[in-house]
Every structure is written in structure tokens, then in C-alpha cells.
Amino acid sequence: MATFTREQIVGGLTRLGQLAQGQGRTVELLLLGGGVMVLVFGTRQSTRDLDVAVVEPRNAAEVRGLAKIVAEERGWPENWLSDAAKGYVVGHSDEATIFTAPGIKVRRPAFEQLLAMKLCAWRDDVDIADARRLLQEVAGRRDEVWQRVVPYLQPGRELKAKYAFDDLWEDLHGPD
């Protein structure tokens, strides 16, 4: 299974931007999951893929086509850039730009939104470690932080996320 380091991510995104610019386009992506943890925090050395939501161009297939070219050039799996996680994005948060190069702009959601996604997934030690790191970035009292996470929870996973949040909070801050 391939993994992508910070250097490879930056190189792949830069090349994606070059290809887009060569077509007179600019790609805008919302980076989710492990890619954020590698690029923004450096808490992981690598990620298995880059989960994104394509913002521009509106036709995500265009971006998938460019990503396929990057994959072929670099000998990477075709799905190194995956927009499948877009279905887990609930709501819209203020985004921070985390990477730009000619032809490409990459943003990340608010930490509360990323935390909500990790709490709803809660699959393995990687999700737990990511959620722990994200929770450290969100200031406030327990109930305030939770209320800022709630709008981004996936319907049907609220209880799972609440239990995960409570466990993490107590692990980091102790019982209230």
C-alpha cells in the first residue's frame, strides 16, 4: 500500500496545479483527513491518500483526470487524490488556505469540522490520534467546544461522536 509523505504531497499538488494552469484553469480543493495532519501539523509522517472535496472546477471529473496524469507520471495509485470523502462533509466552515502554487489553491476546514469528521469515523488508532490533536487546537470549555462540533456531525453518528468526544476530553483535560 502506498503512502504519501509531506514532500510527495507538496510535489503532487504542485504538479496538479501545473497541469491545471496549462489548461488555463485553477484547481481549488478542500483537504480533509490525513493530508491535513501531515501538511498542517506534521503529526504523521505520511497518509494513504489525499481526501479532498473539489471546489473548483465544478466538474470534479476534470480534477480526477489531472490527478490520474500525476499518478501515471509518478507511479502512484490512481486514487492518490480521492474525492470520495466529500460525502462525509456536513455543513460549511471557514476555511484556511494551507497550500498554494501556480494553478492550485488548497484549503482546510475549521478544526471543529475536521474533529467532527474524525469523531464520526472513530475507526482506529490513527483516527483517535488525529482527533486528539485536533481537540488540542479547539479552545473553550467542554460544552462550548462540543456545541461548535455538533453542526458538522454526520446524521446518525451523533451518539458515537459524543462518546468519543467525552473519552478524548477526559483523557486530555480530566473529568469536569
> Rounded to a whole number, what is the largest CA-CA distance in the chain?
55
Instruction: Give residue 1's pLDDT.
Output: 64
Q: Is residue 175 reached through a cis peptide bond, with omega within 30 degrees of 0 on the bond before it?
A: no
Q: Indicate the pTM of the whole model.
A: 0.91
Q: Where are the domains of the chain?
A: 4-109, 112-173
Q: Looking at residue 57, what DSSP letter applies?
A: S
pLDDT in tens, the chain (176 residues): 678 999 999 999 999 999 999 999 999 999 998 999 999 998 888 888 899 999 999 999 999 999 999 999 999 999 999 998 887 888 888 789 999 999 999 999 999 999 999 999 988 888 899 999 999 999 999 999 999 999 999 999 999 999 999 999 999 998 87
Q: Is 98 exposed, middle or buried (0-12, 13-18, 19+ CB in 10 A)?
A: middle
